[in-house]
Amino acid sequence: MFLSQTHNMNNQLNNQILENASTVSRNLSSEELYELSHKNGEGQLSKHGALVVETGKHTGRSANDKFFVKEDDNKDKIHWGDTNVPISEENYQKIANSFLEFAKGKSIYAHDLMGGADRNHSLKVTIITEYAWHGLFARHLLVRPTSEEVNSFIADFTIINFPSLKMDPNYHGTNSETAIIVNLKEKVILISGTEYAGETKKSVFTLLNFLLPEKQVMPMHCSVNTGNDGSSAIFFGLSGTGKTTLSADPNRSLLGDDEHGWSDEGLFNFEGGCYAKLIRLSQEAEPEIYATTQKKLTVIENAVLKTDGDLDLDDNSLTENTRGAYPLEFIPNVTLNGKTSHPKNIIMLTADAFGVLPPISKLSPSQAMYHFLSGYTAKVAGTEIGLSNEPQATFSTCFGAPFMPRNPIEYGDLLKKKISEHEVDCWLVNTGWIGGVYGVGKRISIKDTRILLNAALSGELANIEMRKDENFGFEVPLNVNKVNSLILNPKNSWSDPIAYDLQAKKLVSMFIENFTKFEDDVDDNVRSSGPVA
**Which residues does the annotation mark as catalytic?**
61, 202, 221, 239, 243-244, 258, 323
**CB count in 10 Å sphere of residue 520:** 8
Helical H segments across 319-445, by residue range:
365-374, 408-421
Q: How many CA atoms lie within 13 A of 281 on its CB side?
A: 25
CA angle 258, 297, 28 (to 5 degrees): 95
For residue 479, the one-letter residue type is N
DSSP label of 435: S
Phi, psi of 416 (to 5 degrees): -60, -40
Residues 6 or more apart whose Cβ sits within 8 Å of residue 12:
none
415: left (phi over 0), alpha (psi -120 to 50) or beta: alpha
CB 360 within 8 A of CB 430: yes
Q: How many CA atoms lie within 13 A of 337 on its CB side?
A: 8
With CA atoms as reference, report the closest residue to 467 among 362, 347, 355: 362
Element containing residue 526 per DSSP (H, E):
helix 524-527
Strand blocks (E) in 366-502: 376-379, 392-395, 425-430, 433-434, 442-443, 466-468, 475-477
Strand blocks (E) in 184-297: 188-192, 218-226, 232-236, 253-256, 259-263, 266-269, 273-277
- Give the orientation angle of helix 198-211 with respect to helix 132-141, to 10 degrees: 40
CA angle 54, 55, 56 (to 5 degrees): 100
DSSP label of 479: -
